[in-house]
Amino acid sequence: MARRCDQSIIPLRLAPRPRSKQQYHTIHRHPPAQVVIVSRNPSKAPEAAHVFERVQCDSLDRQALGAMFAAHAPYDILISSATGGARAMGPFMSMDIDGYKNSFAKLWGYANVAQLGVPHLAADGAVVLVSGAPARRPKAGQVALASVGASVEQLVRTLAPELAPRRINCVSPGMIDTPMFGPSCAEKTERLENATKANLVPRPGAPEEVADAIVFVATNRFVTGTTVDVDGGWLHKG
């Protein structure tokens, strides 16, 4: 994936894990990257090919993040999908205002990654951030997800001209079967299936499907400042 200095920051859950020969080919058509995985507890990350190092770091800790970037520089690709922390859910009028404000930890984490990471990025490098389908089609109770996601997409649009010729893009997932919804069990499967049965693609997405889009925007040199939806048609359901 990375072309020259062969390093990138990639989040834990969205790392490509090919499930078929064909998908393996899609993911690996680019030269292998040396991947640095960063999170607050990277030991949770599954074994994956090309993992160069696992680093413990909180994206909200600017001092630690700056030191981590400097220690592992330079990079060709920076990817951040960190949620940042807990997000508030439910009706806005009864929402704890501190919970709403704290939901923006995701935006602050991405802002830190961009501001502290881009100086170490190759001149033709790329940044990828992750928003979410509620940014443009929120359901009731998703005011925090919607506000933060929309801010992330606007951050990307605004930074694109400033960072050029480096590129920055966003991927917007719909409902994806990840540990965000708890450990795998029949109840979780049923909950995700119910929540997605009205989508044009009536099932939850797989992390690998989001990872494919991340690889696409990270490596296509004619794409910048945009958001790619990987949501099974969430935006277009009736």
Q: Which residues contact ligand NAP by CB under 6 A?
A: 11-14, 39-41, 44, 58-60, 81-85, 106, 109, 130, 132-133, 173, 175-176, 178-180
Question: Which DSSP category does 237 fall into?
Answer: -
- DSSP line for 21-76: HHHHHHHTTSPPPPEEEEESSGGGSPP-TTEEEEEE--TT-HHHHHHHHHHH--EE
Residue 134 CB, nearest approach to ligand NAP (Å): 7
Residue 49 CB, nearest approach to ligand NAP (Å): 18
Q: 92 vs 181, which CB is nearer to ligand NAP?
A: 181
Q: 50 vs 136, which CB is nearer to ligand NAP?
A: 136
Q: How many residues does the chain have?
A: 238
Question: Which DSSP category does 82 fall into?
Answer: -
Distances (CA, A) of 14 to 11, 18, 38, 151, 152: 6, 11, 12, 21, 18
Q: 178 vs 219, which CB is nearer to ligand NAP?
A: 178
Token pair recorded at residue 234: 């969430």
Residue 124 CB, nearest approach to ligand NAP (Å): 25
Token pair recorded at residue 189: 């499967």
Residue 169 CB, nearest approach to ligand NAP (Å): 14
Q: 41 vs 184, which CB is nearer to ligand NAP?
A: 41
Token pair recorded at residue 139: 């359901």
Q: 27 vs 133, which CB is nearer to ligand NAP?
A: 133
Residue 136 CB, nearest approach to ligand NAP (Å): 12
